[in-house]
Amino acid sequence: MRRVAFAFAVVAVAWSAASSAAVAAPEIQIAQGRLNGSEEDGVASYKGIPFAKPPVGDLRWRAPQEAPSWNGVRDASNFGAICPQIKFRWVGNSPQSEDCLTVNVWSPKTAANSKLPVMVWIYGGAFRNGGSAAPLYDGTDLAKHGVVIVSFNYRLGLLGFFAHPALAEESPNEAIGNYGLMDQVAALKWVQKNIAAFGGDPANVTVFGESAGGMSVNDLIASPAARGLFVKAISESGLGMTAMPTLEAAEGVARKFATRQRTFESTERILKQLRSLSVSAILADQATLHDLAASAPIVDGKFMPLDVSVAFAKGDIAKVAYLAGSNSNEATLMDELRMTPSTMMDPLGPNADFVRRIYEKDGKLSDEDFGKQLFDDALFSSGAHGLAAFMTKTGKPAYLYRFAYVADALRARGDTGVGHGGEVVYIWGLHGLERDALMSRLADAATPKDREIVALMQDYWTNFAKTGNPNGNDRPNWPQLSPSEDATLVIDDKTQAVENFRKAQISVMYGAWSKRTSLPAPY
């Protein structure tokens, strides 16, 4: 199964400007210069700070360059522009610009010797959409748990993932294609260099993200370029066991793009023409592309030497504490992806009856439900479980979750499971949802039970960032994954650890993975 399932996945986030009663935050000094920001509810925030030069002109489709410095005091009270992307309903009127490589920080204690744990968020959006300015991702609530929160922008779509062979000829010693991931590494290097000024501990950094952000977390663990930049990782709905596009596939997409843009001359001339294209022309072409190799991380042989699952299986990864999981109805993506139950069942071929008996051990399933469960396990459940199991073999702790809690406001409309991205609002808090009528009702009508799930998720996530163990605060025990205790924490009306959760179904996916990679299954 290719990672195509995320080509059009979206996360329901709000992009309207958040109102607040902010006051001035302490002025601080970082490597580039001095900053002032704002403070709200005892949490200081500094936004729109450049972590790399603007990737424009000759720097389009190049690795990010060292961030600029400035004289005087820079105003850091507002977000920078988000990276260029095709507008869809969640983008709203957020300004867009290629000059988008900025970082944001929320801190409850800016004293330089505070050494607070640091959590660095990577947004989702199929590597085509998203941005750190979404009010949903306001870090104030999480920072109150005694952690420093960081978010940033990274390049998207064809501007972030583009691998024309002329780029390799121009810079033969550089990796090409994964520019969005290179931006993420540059942001993490900025954190290492500067976060102490905000009260953070550069030796205690956790990366966390959802969807494309969760995939990015796994990619960073597998990339040698990110070694030593973080010590803990949380991957929410981040796949893992599916194959990444190859460099050859990405080069083919890029060549066709260049041909459509009428570039036919020398390497130097081709790149000059491509870099002179308007952003609108690039986005217009991108809108016609449905090939994942056109807008997602690839195995390029340098920045990403191996497919993520292969790197994890071989132990060629950063050895970090790892937390991963998915939601109870990730198959909400199927309609958006124009996938059907047959899409999932047809590849089973002669094994269809055998696999179906495994899935129907607790009762008969309709074709629709069977296909949805195959989708969920092939892309999500097996990915989280598989990578977590591989991580345990490095000697590092790993924890698995399944988020299944459905709020009353969502049950009222008939929801029976949690769709893709549905856990995000509980981690960040029920705010920033104004652009979606249903989510706005959820925030307005949140029950004590809903708010308890918010507190539960925030405790687990921040506890993990502090110690590498999500337990504490008298929350239900979350066992560490191991061959002798294959437990998944199921977060629902009753939150509890479940042994061997969907293990038989997941083992089917491991069989297919082993056949593809010629490697032993995780368990």
Averaged pLDDT, 19-33 = 83
Residue 351 contacts residue 363 (beta carbons within 8 Å): no
pLDDT at 89: 52
pLDDT at 11: 36
**What stretches of 377-428 show up as alpha helix (H) in DSSP?**
382-392, 408-411, 424-428
Asked whether the predicted pLDDT for residue 16 surpasses 50, the reply is no
pLDDT at 151: 98
Distance CA 163, CA 174 (A): 12
Residue 162 lies in a domain: yes
Share of the chain above pLDDT 90, in %: 80
Marked catalytic residue, from 330, 382, 385, 423: 330
pLDDT at 129: 93
Residue 321 contacts residue 400 (beta carbons within 8 Å): no
Number of helical H runs and strand E runs in the chain: 19, 17
List the structure tokens of 497: 């650890």
Marked catalytic residue, from 211, 235, 326, 382: 211
Residue 285 lies in a domain: no
Nearest CA to 488 out of 507, 501, 472 is that of 501
Averaged pLDDT, 227-253 = 96
pLDDT at 25: 87
pLDDT at 106: 98
Asked whether the predicted pLDDT for residue 1 surpasses 70, the reply is no
The residues facing 325 across adjacent strands are 236, 401
* Residue 315 DSSP SS3: coil
Please name the residues in contact with 522: beta carbons below 8 A apart, sequence gap of 6 or more: 313, 385, 386, 387, 389, 390, 510
Residue 470 lies in a domain: yes
Please name the residues in contact with 24: beta carbons below 8 A apart, sequence gap of 6 or more: 36, 37, 38, 39
Averaged pLDDT, 319-345 = 91
Nearest CA to 60 out of 28, 83, 37 is that of 83
Residue 62 lies in a domain: no
Tell me if residue 77 is catalytic.
no
Please name the residues in contact with 401: beta carbons below 8 A apart, sequence gap of 6 or more: 323, 324, 325, 384, 460, 478, 488, 489, 490, 491
Torsion sign across C-alpha atoms 438, 444, 448, 454: positive
> pLDDT digit string (tens) for 275-306?
999 999 999 999 988 776 778 999 999 999 99
Asked whether the predicted pLDDT for residue 331 surpasses 70, the reply is yes
Tell me if residue 98 is catalytic.
no
DSSP 380: I
Residue 127 contacts residue 6 (beta carbons within 8 Å): yes
pLDDT at 162: 96
Tell me if residue 211 is catalytic.
yes
Q: Which residue shows structure tokens 């929410």?
A: 236
pLDDT at 235: 98
Distance CA 265, CA 249 (A): 22
Share of the chain above pLDDT 70, in %: 93
Asked whether the predicted pLDDT for residue 408 surpasses 90, the reply is no
Distance CA 261, CA 50 (A): 31
Nearest CA to 129 out of 245, 50, 212 is that of 212
Asked whether the predicted pLDDT for residue 5 surpasses 50, the reply is no
Residue 188 contacts residue 111 (beta carbons within 8 Å): no
CA distances, 169 to each of 105, 130, 172, 260, 344 (Å): 38, 31, 5, 21, 40
Asked whether the predicted pLDDT for residue 377 surpasses 80, the reply is yes
Q: How far is CA 476 from the centre of its chain?
A: 26
What is the CB-side half-sphere exposure of residue 1 using CA atoms within 13 A?
Answer: 29
> pLDDT digit string (tens) for 486-508?
999 999 999 999 999 999 999 99
Kindly report the number of other CB atoms within 10 A of residue 504's CB atom: 10
| Number of structural domains found in the chain | 1
Residue 283 lies in a domain: no
Beta strand 161-162 pairing with 177-178? antiparallel
Torsion sign across C-alpha atoms 161, 105, 189, 99: positive
Please name the residues in contact with 162: beta carbons below 8 A apart, sequence gap of 6 or more: 61, 177, 179, 250, 254, 257
Residue 266 lies in a domain: no
Asked whether the predicted pLDDT for residue 335 surpasses 90, the reply is no
* Crossing angle (nearest 10°) for helices 352-359 and 503-517: 150
Residue 401 lies in a domain: yes
Range of the domain at 397: 3-21+38-53+75-85+119-249+292-517
Asked whether the predicted pLDDT for residue 258 surpasses 70, the reply is yes
pLDDT at 20: 45
List the structure tokens of 392: 């345990």
Q: Which of 216-230, 415-429, 439-453 has the lowest mean pLDDT?
A: 439-453
Beta strand 38-40 pairing with 23-24? antiparallel
Residue 238 contacts residue 218 (beta carbons within 8 Å): yes
Q: Which residue shows structure tokens 């550069």?
A: 202
pLDDT band at 437 (very low <50, low <70, confident <90, very high): low
Distance CA 341, CA 367 (A): 6
Marked catalytic residue, from 38, 39, 420, 434: 420
Please name the residues in contact with 212: beta carbons below 8 A apart, sequence gap of 6 or more: 6, 9, 122, 123, 124, 125, 126, 127, 130, 296
Residue 472 lies in a domain: yes
> pLDDT digit string (tens) for 80-120?
999 999 875 555 577 999 999 999 999 999 988 899 999 99
Exposure string for 316-355, b = 16+ CB within 10 A, e = fewer? ebbebbbbbbbbbbbbbbbeebebebeebbeebeeeeeeb
Task: For residue 153, give the amino acid letter.
Answer: N
Sheet containing 33-36, strands listed edge to edge, beginning at the edge strand earlier in sequence: 28-30, 33-36, 73-75
165: CATH: 3.40.50.1820
pLDDT at 441: 67
